[in-house]
Amino acid sequence: MFELASSTIPMKNRFVAVFFAFFGGLVGLHKMYLRGWSAGSGRLVFFFLALFLRWPIVLVILTIVAILEGVLMASMDQETFDRKYNSGIPQERTSRSEQRQQPHERRHQRRAPRPAAIFSGAGKFITSGMKKFRNYDLKGALADFLQAETRDPRSATVHFNLACTYSMLEDAGKGFHHLSLAMTHGFQDEEKISSHDALAFLRIQPEFRAFVANGYQPVSEHQALESGKEQNLLEELRRLSEQREEGKLTAEEFDSRKRNLFG
């Protein structure tokens, strides 16, 4: 997921970093928290050097710089913070669909990613939900992401994670709904939508191609039925599910055939 990092490196919390910048930035505490050990150590050396040589102006400068860095992180949206400081989040790349010619009216209507509500409390639920998702606790992850949504309802990160979770739970309606909201609120990595494993269930839905062509907005049933290819995939998935329920396939055989189907 965007924000469902595959890395096991602990996620850094933006609000904790802001707190350290305001109340420990003078000695580089926020730099060390964000794994910037060299910069943090340098800040600490300057602090003790200024004390030893009695250079109050240096202490004032260090304080001002730390406060400015704290304000910058406080106004930074969660996605930008994750890309910069949480190594498990991949950098956004120019999407393949943006390289092809197609109607852009819907794309121009999307909002730029907004600065997340400062200290909204959504961050801890996003982090907790991502951890549960990686451990396949989908219901627990869903509960956390819904809590994050109530605190930051315009977060592209939250809606993309909800879309991935609903897709894994095979709830296509809600998955498409939150994927549409993620794009509306500034999510831009269309290549991730076309390749992310968690969205495989949405991609095999008959309306997915029309959903994408319609600017990631809901489409009518008539628009969704165009080539029949996705419909065949859906029918095959349903047939495999029935065979699993009837005991004709083991769980391992079902997972193997499902992976082949999505591949």
The CATH number of the domain holding residue 147 is 1.25.40.10
Residues 158, 190 within the same domain: yes
Instruction: Write down the pLDDT at residue 234.
Output: 66
Residues 129 and 218 in one domain: yes
137-169 pLDDT per residue, tens: 999 999 999 999 998 888 889 999 999 999 999
| 212 and 106 part of one domain | yes
* Residue 40 shares a structural domain with residue 123: no
Nearest to 168 by CA among 191, 140, 207: 140
Domain-located, residue 3: no
**Within a domain: 91:** no
Q: Which residues of 60-84 are buried (b: 16+ CB within 10 A; e: fewer)?
A: eebeeebeebbeebbebbbbbbbee
Q: Report helix, strand and coil shares of the chain as percent, to nearest 5.
A: 65, 0, 35
Question: Does 129 share its domain with 185?
Answer: yes
**Within a domain: residue 92?**
no
4 within a domain of the structure (yes/no): no
The count of structural domains within the chain is: 2
Segments of the chain with pLDDT less than 50: 3-8, 88-109, 112-119, 221-228
Q: Is residue 8 part of a domain?
A: no
pLDDT at 43: 82
Same-domain pairing of 57 and 150 = no
* Residue 241, domain member (yes or no): no
Domain assignment present for residue 93? The answer is no
**Residue-level pLDDT at 132:** 92
| Residue 133 domain flag | yes
- What's residue 169's pLDDT? 94
What are 239's two structure tokens? 């047939």
Q: Name the residue among 233, 239, 192 with its Cα closest to residue 216.
A: 192
Q: Are residues 133 and 172 in the same domain?
A: yes
Same domain for 72 and 108, yes or no, is no
What range defines the domain where residue 175 resides? 102-226
Instruction: Say what the pLDDT of residue 97 is.
Output: 44
Looking at residue 232, what is its pLDDT? 63
199 and 138 in a common domain: yes
Note whether 106 and 186 are same-domain residues: yes
pTM over cut 0.75: no
